[in-house]
Amino acid sequence: RCQGSLMVFSSKHQNSCFSFAQTECRKMADQLSQLESSIETIINIFHQYSIRLQPPDTLNKKEFKELVKKELPNFLKKETKDDKAINEIMEDLDTDVNKELNFQEFSVLVGKLTEASHEEMHKTAPPGVGHRHGPGFKEGGSGHGHSHDNHGHSH
């Protein structure tokens, strides 16, 4: 586990705590939890597309379109074939109306897709006892089941 703590709700100390935690996390990358690794992957993918054109650390329309088409082909199947739909998604996310997405705006999409995928997993769950998940938006994927032992999820 990382030694530093992320203070995501305190803008006063957020940057210093984040950079400390990020440095410590990178040193101990082999010890990241599955969720921490997933979060780091989301950040890395955002950066992979956001550094191509100026200004860095934002996605313009072209970068966002490329990210959606290459990184979200299963979660946004219809939209990846429709540039107008991708543009509409970007406009909805662009809360400061500057025709670019910063990471905070992009993370809203990640959150919405995560929630939609979770709901889809429940819709496609095979019948059976317990709390089961289907494949969600994955083609031909398999879900998983787990029980609630009076304390939450266990796998």
pLDDT value of position 4: 46
Kindly state whether residue 140 falls inside one of the protein's structural domains: no
Looking at the domain assignment, is residue 1 inside a domain?
A: no
Token reading at 126: 């095979």
9 within some domain: no
Phi, psi (5° rounding) for residue 89?
-60, -45
Task: Give the number of domains in the chain.
Answer: 1
Q: Write out the DSSP string of 91-149.
A: HHH-TT-SSSB-HHHHHHHHHHHHHHHHHHHHHTPPSSSSEEE--TTSTT---EEEEE-
- Residue 16 forms part of a structural domain: no
CATH number of the domain that residue 85 is part of: 1.10.238.10
Residue 13 in domain: no
pLDDT at 88: 98
- What is the pLDDT, as a whole number, of residue 55? 80
Domain limits at 78?
A: 35-123
Note whether residue 91 is domain-resident.
yes
Q: How many CB atoms lie within 10 A of CB 44?
A: 9
pLDDT in tens, the chain (155 residues): 344 444 444 444 444 455 555 555 555 556 999 999 999 999 999 999 998 777 889 999 999 999 999 999 999 999 999 999 999 999 999 999 999 999 999 999 999 999 999 998 888 777 766 666 666 666 555 444 444 444 444 44
In terms of phi and psi (left: phi > 0; alpha: psi -120 to 50; beta: otherwise), the region of 136 is left
Q: Is residue 106 domain-resident?
A: yes
pLDDT computed for residue 125 by the predictor? 74
